[in-house]
Amino acid sequence: MKKYVCDVCGWIYDPALGDPDLGIEPGTAFEDLPDDFVCPLCLVGKDQFSPIED
């Protein structure tokens, strides 16, 4: 699963870790996050994230 980076602030969503503080279980793909997911740092939506190329 790919990591995604917030284009605005640089926060990285790592699906291997999820985000327990937000109730997102480890192993949750970015595509499976709710449509109303927002960056926990700057509050922009999923459309403001880009995949990180390995």
d(CA 9, CA 11): 6
pLDDT of residue 8: 98
Which pLDDT score is estimated for 35? 94
- In sequence order, which residues have a C-beta less than 8 Å from that of residue 16 and are 6 or more positions away? 1, 26, 27
| Tens-place pLDDT, residues 1-54 | 899 999 999 999 999 999 999 899 999 999 999 999 999 999 999 999 999 986
> pTM of whole model > 0.85?
yes
CB–CB of 49/5 below 8 Å?
A: yes
Distance CA 44, CA 53 (A): 21
pLDDT at res. 53: 82
46's tokens: 């999923």
